[in-house]
Amino acid sequence: MQLDLFASLLDEEPTPPSAPTPQPPRREAPVPRPDTRRTASTPTPLLHATPHPMPAGGVANPSERAFSLGEAVANSWHKNHGGTRIEIPIGIVASLALIGQKDKDGPDLKSQILAQDDRELVEMYQQLWCAHWMHRPDLVERARILHEWANEDKHTRHELYMVRVITKTALDKGLFDLTGHADPYLRSQADVLSPTLTLMRSTGAMQGLGEFHTPPPVTDMMAWSTLADLSADIGDGGKALEPGQSILDPAAGTGGMIRSAAQNIRRRGLDPADFEWAMVDIDPIAAACAAVNAMVWGLGPRVTVACDDSLANRNAVEDAWQQARAAFEHRDRMLGQAKMIAAVRQTQQLLEQAVGAAA
């Protein structure tokens, strides 16, 4: 069963083997953190780029909607005794966040998805990740913890039931209203994975990990302050905000600070895909969410996500870039083998047809 949700991916050719792999961000990358020396009396710096009109069509209070969605998913999981595998509900929300409808006047995706039986629903998630692996094997590999459950040989009846429950909950709470837009600015108005991850974990688990996600209004302010400072440095011989620069968050969580920076860049009439992005987090699920968000938010081809301790390993980003390069090379080998097998089968069919015609 092919749903309309795959149309935008299946219409595209996978990135060819000769395409450049992600480049490691430069060490001099500006880290999106506020300048603590700024005081209330400091004049507001002028922005370098001309403000760009943003598209209409977003939802009101997107961060509140995202929190409400995460709360509903967590409540549904625990109420129905989902168990300790929180990567399943988080992975379902992540999977659905990757879905976008190519034709806004096309069939209703929510109805299409929920019309499938339980096993078809799991297969849909498998196919979705396979389709994205063709284009971004590095990010899909980093997000493995969020989707490897779908590829397991067997699922219990209760697991299949929970997959349906969480899928319906996320869709009923309007996930597509937040992430289903064609325009990346509208898709990036909220981080739907941060509250889902936060609310799925107990308070004790969060404290044990030392994991505290910065609220969206704070990340917006911090990103604006940092990027505005960069633009203001022009008059002092500093470097203007311009494509090709690197932006790094060494304690990224699910990428909230990066989302705010990307949205700020868009508002200046620039494209985040023209910049280099790097995110590091020690928590595997948070790093996986950051990788998914990089695709949802349209950060472009030059994104590196590391699951590492940035304090203990100064080369965390470079190490992650090497892993990303290996993922692209593995994909290219798999595609090459698949094309060779297809060519052999086609040749066999032609020979059989020729033999049949001669007989």
pLDDT in tens, 295-311: 999 999 999 999 999 99
Mean pLDDT throughout 151-180? 95
In a domain, 342, yes or no: no
Domain of 176 in residue numbering reads as 4-37+60-316
Model pLDDT, residue 110: 93
C-beta atoms surrounding 111 within 10 Å: 9
Model pLDDT, residue 288: 98
In a domain, 175, yes or no: yes
216 and 256 Cβ atoms separated by less than 8 Å:
yes
pLDDT in tens, 188-209: 999 999 999 999 986 444 444 4
In a domain, 309, yes or no: yes
In a domain, 44, yes or no: no
Mean pLDDT throughout 64-78? 95
Mean pLDDT throughout 55-66? 86
In a domain, 297, yes or no: yes
pLDDT in tens, 13-40: 444 433 444 555 554 444 444 333 333 3
Q: Indicate whether 12 pLDDT > 70.
A: no
As for how many domains the chain has, the answer is 1
In a domain, 183, yes or no: yes
Model pLDDT, residue 213: 57
In a domain, 154, yes or no: yes
Token pair 């004790």 in the structure block, residue: 204
In a domain, 46, yes or no: no
Model pLDDT, residue 345: 77
